[in-house]
């Protein structure tokens, strides 16, 4: 089996897991299949490169590289300070069969013009920055990874593992990718998108103590009357003023927050209980099982029953 050369681009302050996760996927695939991949770490200059967590890795210089199959650009907190790498990355991309990024490494691909006219994803925290800074990129913050032609982008940090598994499946078939996933104890196809991890973190903590208490009340009482009139009364505000203040301080409208909170409550019950779907829908304020189903399909692209089968934690 001919080895495919994977070149991972790093820089000072990169996210180590953006490199280590995919590296272990490709190494495990090569171990199982008896070959198939070779990984090189590359930087602007040869020598040690320090990750954000302090771990140092050795890198070859960009100009030493030949015969690139896959160019993989890592992300990191310092990614936006290394946009000058866009030129070398664009040059390397022209010699590669395909290009990929992990996390906010998509910023470097966008700066290089490699995402123009393409759909792409990145870490949900920087998705708005990517969309605002590069209007020619169609940014979708929810998927774990996106393929648009020969360009692949992935979501935050551990999504690099999902991305690498998808690349292995494309190269050598789903069976090998599944063997790698089992060996690494990860999902071959992780259900849902980034929204399952980011819902609580997307909202700001309200500055107002009454609104902080109200948000806690919403989360603790999903089956209660959480309509805007009811919530406005609890906050002792007019409906219009309440909606405006809540949206400004929390970062989303009251109705949207309630929908997200109820969906999260249903998700927790699916993980932790064997309660029928009808009871979960009722206890979480979603009413009917059909509403629960539509909510899960819209937010996590999976049915409640499938979510329960994949995520429920049962006692031995």
Dihedral of alpha carbons 66, 58, 2, 167, sign: negative
Whether residue 316 lies inside any domain: the answer is: no
DSSP character at residue 302: S
Q: Which domain holds residue 228?
A: 196-311
DSSP 269-284: HHHH----HHHHHHHT
Band (pLDDT 50/70/90 cuts) for residue 230 is: very high
> Using CA atoms, how far apart are residues 138 and 160, in angstroms rounded to an integer?
20
20 and 110 in a common domain: yes
Whether residue 158 lies inside any domain: the answer is: yes
Percent of the chain predicted with pLDDT > 70 = 93
CATH code assigned at 79: 3.40.50.880
Whether residue 70 lies inside any domain: the answer is: yes
Whether residue 298 lies inside any domain: the answer is: yes
Report field, pTM of the whole predicted structure over 0.85: no
Sequence-distant (≥ 6) Cβ neighbours of residue 88 within 8 angstroms? 44, 62
Whether residue 84 lies inside any domain: the answer is: yes
Q: What is the pLDDT of residues 154-200, one digit of tens each?
A: 999 999 999 999 999 999 998 999 999 999 998 777 766 665 555 44
254 and 167 in a common domain: no
Q: What is the pLDDT of residues 217-227, one digit of tens each?
A: 998 899 999 99
Q: Which of 140, 155, 190 is at the close of a domain?
A: 190
């Amino acid at each position: 089996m001919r080895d495919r050369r994977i070149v991972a681009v790093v820089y000072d302050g990169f996210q180590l897991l953006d490199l280590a996760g995919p590296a272990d996927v490709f190494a495990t695939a090569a171990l199982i299949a008896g070959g198939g991949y070779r990984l090189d770490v590359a930087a602007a200059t040869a020598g040690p490169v320090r990750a954000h967590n302090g771990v140092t890795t050795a890198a070859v210089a960009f100009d030493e590289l030949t015969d690139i199959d896959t160019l993989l650009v890592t992300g990191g907190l310092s990614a936006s300070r290394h946009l000058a790498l866009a030129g070398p990355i664009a040059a390397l991309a022209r010699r590669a069969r395909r290009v990929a990024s992990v996390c906010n490494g998509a910023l470097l691909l966008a700066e290089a013009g490699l995402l123009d006219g393409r759909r792409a994803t990145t870490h949900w925290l920087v998705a708005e920055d990517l969309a605002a800074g590069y209007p020619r990129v169609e940014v979708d913050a929810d998927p774990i990874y996106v393929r648009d032609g020969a360009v692949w982008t992935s979501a935050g940090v551990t999504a690099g593992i999902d991305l690498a598994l998808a690349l292995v499946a494309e190269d050598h078939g789903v069976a090998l990718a599944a063997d790698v996933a089992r060996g690494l104890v990860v999902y071959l196809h992780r259900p849902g998108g980034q929204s399952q991890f980011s819902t609580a973190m997307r909202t700001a903590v309200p500055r107002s103590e009454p609104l902080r208490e109200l948000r806690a009340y919403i989360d603790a009482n999903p089956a209660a009357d959480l309509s805007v009139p009811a919530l406005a009364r609890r906050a002792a505000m007019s409906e219009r003023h309440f909606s405006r203040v809540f949206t400004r301080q929390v970062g989303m409208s009251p109705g949207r927050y309630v929908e997200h909170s109820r969906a999260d409550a249903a998700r927790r019950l699916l993980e932790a209980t064997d309660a029928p779907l009808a009871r979960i829908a009722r206890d979480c304020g979603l009413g009917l099982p059909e509403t629960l189903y539509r909510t899960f399909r819209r937010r996590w692209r999976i049915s409640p029953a499938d979510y329960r089968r994949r995520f429920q934690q049962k006692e031995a």
